[in-house]
Every structure is written in C-alpha cells, then in structure tokens.
C-alpha cells in the first residue's frame, strides 16, 4: 500500500513539474486582437502601430496591371489576391484592418501593357512622392525602413505569366509554389561606378567589371539584384507587407528571376 502511495505521489510530482514547464507566463504587452500573444507577434497590430507612428492611415501594396487580354481574368486575380489578404488578417483576428486597407490599382493599356520595370518604377516614384505629400507626410519618410511607408516603397505588378499562374492554382492553396505576382522595389537603382570609393578603384584595371555579376541579362541588367522578384501570392499580402518594412529583408529574401520567392512568411513556410 505504501508503495502504491509513493508511486502516485511521484506521478503527481511529475505532472506538476510538467505543468510548470509548459505553463506560459501571460504576455507583458498582450495584443488586443489575440490577448494570449504579444502584440509584436500579431501582424495586424504591427501594421496598425506603424501606421499610427507614421501618421498615415492607409496600407496595402499598389498594383500595376500589365496584361489586358481578359477583364474577367483580371477581376478574378484581384479577388484572389484580396481573399489571401483577408485570410491572413482573419488568422490574426484583424479583419478590422480591412477598413484602412486600400487596393490602389494602376490600369492604362496604352502605358502599362507589357511595361518594363523601368517604366513602372518611374511612374511609381512620382505617384508615391505626390501621394505621401498629399497625406501630410514628407518625401524623406519614403527612404526610411518603416512598415508605415511600405506602400510608398514597394509595389506589385502583374503580367500575363503571373496572372495565369494564380488562376491555375486553387484559391485556398496557401502552400502553392507556382502562383506568384511580381514585387518591385520602387526606389532600387543599379550600382554605378560612383557607388565605389576612389580607394576601392585604385587597383582595378577595368572598373566596369565591378558592375558585372555574370548573371543572365534581365532587362539589360546582369547584377544579382535586378530590383524586382517573383513572390508567391500568399506572401505578397500581409506577411510580405510587414517584412518589406524591416531593414535588410529585401536583400535577405531576394530571389532573382526566374526563381520564385516563397519564404517570406514563417506561417506559410515552404522550405
């Protein structure tokens, strides 16, 4: 009998120790949307906070339409993209953020059909500068790494290839590696000789060789980073928006075309 009581006591102690190990302390700064988690771990909270700090009230990537073969296909593309944004917000109990989410779509067949990234970038820079000033912000804000201004630093563009890749995939397939849109770094510029110090050029016979990474030409650029990349549809929404506001994330996550970047989000991890 004593042995049985001893065994029960040991078991109870083991359960108590396990409970202590698995017990989570309440978050110090709980999210208003998911109180059991830190606010910094809720992307809806993070974007809302960044907006408030920047003094800006809208968020969401601008989208350039670069294919005009079918209006019905384009409408379906936008529906699917917005579905993924809403789906991610729902995960963070943040559907209220749809009130400040803005889908800005640039459509002009004569100007944007099969447009080069240089054409898109030139338009985007003018638009973002004017837009942020109209909202009372300063153009200098655009240069900062801040989630609140991602909308004015990055945009998406959709050509026929990316549109069809999205339409081929089931809408709720959040681990699809082939459905993608194109993300453009709006303020990227290719390296030039002027970017190197004179000391760094002293022992270089052909300085122009420093600008040759040896990659296949993409719109005439042979550097590794060509200023845009293909991004999995799911990761081009909430998660992509948050990540692109952090310093160094573009360089860390960058995939040169024709590869597709599908590793932005840990929640939808592919690799």
CB 92 within 8 A of CB 42: yes
Q: What distances in angstroms separate CA 64 from CA 35, 55, 218, 234, one per listed residue?
A: 37, 25, 19, 18
**Between the CA of residue 232 and those of 5, 35, 140, 158, what are the distances in Å?**
59, 30, 30, 12
Q: Could you tell me if residue 19 is inside a domain?
A: no
Q: 115-152 pLDDT, tens per residue?
A: 999 999 999 999 999 999 998 888 889 888 889 999 99
Q: Is residue 251 part of a domain?
A: yes
Instruction: Confirm if 138 and 149 have CB atoms less than 8 A apart.
Output: no
Express each pLDDT in 45-61 by its tens digit: 999 999 999 998 899 99
User: Domain for residue 210, yes or no?
Assistant: no
Please count the structural domains in the chain. Answer: 1
pTM score over 0.85: no
What is the per-residue pLDDT for 16?
A: 66
Within-domain flag for 137:
yes
For 153, the token pair is 């630093």
Q: Average pLDDT, stretch 67-71?
A: 98
Q: Report if residue 2 sits inside a domain.
A: no
- Res. 39 pLDDT band, cuts 50 70 90: very high
Residue 36 forms part of a structural domain: no
pLDDT for 174 equals 72
Q: Is residue 175 part of a domain?
A: yes
Domain assignment of residue 205, yes or no: no
Q: Which of 171, 191, 190, 169 is nearest to 260 (CA)?
A: 169
Rounded CA separation 21/19 (Å): 5
Measured at the alpha carbon of residue 162, what is the angle toward residues 183 and 254, in degrees to the nearest 5? 35
Query: How deeply is 167 buried, as exposed, middle or buried, from its count of CB atoms within 10 A (0-12, 13-18, 19+)?
Result: middle
Strand, coil or helix: what is 105?
Answer: strand
Question: Would you tell me how many other CB atoms lie within 10 Å of the CB of residue 48?
Answer: 21
Three-state secondary structure readout of 36-85 = CCEHHHCHHHHHHHHHHHHCCCCECCCEEECCCCCHHHHHHHHHHHHHHH
Q: Which domain holds residue 162?
A: 58-188+225-261
Q: What is the mean pLDDT of residues 242-256?
A: 93
3-state DSSP call for residue 181? Answer: strand
Output the CA torsion 261→262→264→269 (10° steps). -160
How far is residue 98 CA from its own chain's centroid?
17
Average pLDDT value for residue range 152-160 = 97
């Amino acid at each position: 009998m004593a042995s049985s009581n001893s065994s029960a006591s040991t078991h109870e102690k083991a359960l108590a120790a396990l409970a202590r190990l698995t017990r989570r302390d309440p978050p110090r700064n709980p999210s208003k949307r998911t109180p059991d988690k830190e606010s910094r771990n809720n992307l809806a909270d993070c974007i809302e906070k960044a907006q408030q700090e920047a003094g800006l009230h809208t968020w969401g990537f601008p989208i350039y339409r670069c294919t005009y073969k079918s209006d019905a296909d384009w409408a379906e593309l936008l529906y699917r993209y917005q579905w993924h944004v809403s789906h991610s917000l729902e995960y963070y109990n943040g559907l209220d953020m749809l009130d400040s989410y803005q889908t800005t779509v640039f459509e002009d067949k004569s100007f944007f059909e099969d447009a080069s990234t240089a054409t898109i970038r030139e338009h985007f820079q003018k638009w973002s500068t004017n837009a942020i000033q109209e909202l009372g912000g300063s153009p200098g804000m655009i240069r900062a790494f801040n989630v609140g201004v991602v909308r004015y630093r990055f945009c998406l563009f959709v050509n026929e290839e990316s549109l069809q890749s999205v339409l081929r995939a089931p809408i709720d397939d959040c681990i699809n590696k082939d459905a993608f849109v194109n993300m453009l770094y709006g303020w990227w510029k290719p390296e030039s000789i002027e970017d190197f110090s004179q000391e760094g050029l002293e022992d270089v016979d052909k300085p122009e060789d420093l600008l040759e990474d040896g990659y296949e030409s993409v719109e005439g650029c042979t550097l590794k980073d060509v200023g845009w990349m293909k991004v999995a549809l799911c990761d081009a929404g909430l998660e992509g928006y948050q990540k692109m506001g952090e310093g160094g994330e573009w360089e860390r996550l960058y995939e040169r075309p024709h590869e597709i970047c599908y590793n932005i989000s840990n929640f939808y991890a592919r690799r």
